[in-house]
Chain A
């Protein structure tokens, strides 16, 4: 068992920044926990409908106000926004240096090719993998990563955690948060590889508002887990 901990806890994406998220506190948290990435949901259809879908003006504002070093992701939701991105619209917004662009929903290989090779060569494009046979997993793109998420923001935990056989970085999402992560992190660590990340949304909210205290709690859980596994590994090495 020891030595099988391949999840380095390198990245934890907290998705769903909203209008009330204090940007100065986010900037501070990014300094305290460089492993944290903050995700903004963008849906043309649902913007303004719920706090987690800020309107476009506020997305521009969030991306503008954050320090350049803060790790940010934008999650493009719905057909309308996805199609706009594939058409090459909003490049002024999305070409922010360290941004990762996640397309939620179906992405055609030709669309991924255009996004990763033409429009966003300096950014990472994330697509969702629903099966190990997903055709996008076979595309040789260095700036392509995949997310495993059956919950779609519903907060439901998966029956089991799986990882497609790929060299691409993989994100694990679905029902994770400070309350559920302690019971799931070992199982995720068993299948994860270095460079993989965790993504959470619904369970880091309180009254549907993004809750930074919960995000900090998650970072501490992951760090604690990492320390524990490192100690176990050292113990086994000593025995050898």
Chain B
């Protein structure tokens, strides 16, 4: 039980770092602008618990963000077709992240923090952002 709790707490820490990283990179990389809006939270669940699907190596959040939004360095479109695992790799390479970096930023699992923990942490973070946004919109209306 305590392991489970520490795993989700660790996932939250990493995910907060990952979100801050993406926000910071948004200043340099315009394609990352609005990255929160492109995430389909239902797709996390597709990977979260099913370890057979984890063979794709999909860290999911980056795969979803990439999804061909990330340009080639000469601004052209992708030469190859990438599956989701490939898209995850494509964006980590673009951002200069090693697999270890990706773990620290909550984009990839390790032995203690699994995808289900990361999924939960990302969903919480996105929901918190939604709630904040909705709250701000309400205030603006009043």
* Interface residue ranges, A against B (CB under 8 Å): 18-24, 26-27, 48, 51, 55, 57-58, 60-69, 92-93, 96
Chain B residues contacting A66 (CB-CB under 8 Å) are: 72-73
Question: Are B89 and A92 in contact, CB atoms less than 8 angstroms apart?
Answer: no
Chain B contact residues: helix, strand, loop or mixed: loop
Judged by a CB distance under 8 angstroms, whether B79 is at the interface is: yes
Q: In the complex, A96→B92 CA distance in Å?
A: 21
Q: How large is the interface on B (under 10, 10 to 19, 20 to 34, 35 or more residues)?
A: 20 to 34
Question: Are B72 and A61 in contact, CB atoms less than 8 angstroms apart?
Answer: no
Question: Are A65 and B73 in contact, CB atoms less than 8 angstroms apart?
Answer: yes
| Total number of residue pairs linking A and B with CB closer than 8 Å | 71
Q: In the complex, A19→B7 CA distance in Å?
A: 26
Judged by a CB distance under 8 angstroms, whether B21 is at the interface is: no
Judged by a CB distance under 8 angstroms, whether B97 is at the interface is: yes
Question: Are B93 and A67 in contact, CB atoms less than 8 angstroms apart?
Answer: no
* 5 nearest CB pairs, A to B: A67-B74, A57-B89, A61-B93, A19-B98, A27-B73
Besides the contacts A22-B96, A60-B89, what 8 more A-B pairs have beta carbons closer than 8 Å?
A20-B98, A23-B93, A57-B57, A61-B86, A62-B93, A64-B79, A65-B72, A66-B72
Closest to B83 in A: A57
Question: Are B72 and A64 in contact, CB atoms less than 8 angstroms apart?
Answer: yes
Question: Are A19 and B92 in contact, CB atoms less than 8 angstroms apart?
Answer: yes
Residues 92-124 of B at the A interface (beta carbon under 8 Å): 92-94, 96-99, 101
Closest to B56 in A: A57
